[in-house]
Amino acid sequence: MMSSSSPYIFGQQANSQWQKRPLGRVGDLQGWHQRMKALCPNPRLGQVVWLENNHWDNGEGQYVHSSTGYKVINFRANGDPVWERGQVIILSTDDE
* pLDDT value at residue 17: 74
Among 11, 83, 88, 7, which residue's Cα sits nearest to residue 51?
A: 7
Mean pLDDT of the chain: 77
Strands of 1-96 (E only): list them.
Answer: 3-10, 16-20, 48-57, 62-75, 81-90
More confident position, 41 or 15: 41
Whole-number Å distance between alpha carbons of 44 and 56: 33
Least confident among 5-9, 58-62, 92-96: 5-9
* pLDDT value at residue 92: 62
What mean pLDDT is predicted for residues 66-71?
84
What mean pLDDT is predicted for residues 39-47?
92
Whole-number Å distance between alpha carbons of 96 and 92: 7
Whole-number Å distance between alpha carbons of 17 and 41: 25
The full set of domain ranges for the chain reads 3-90
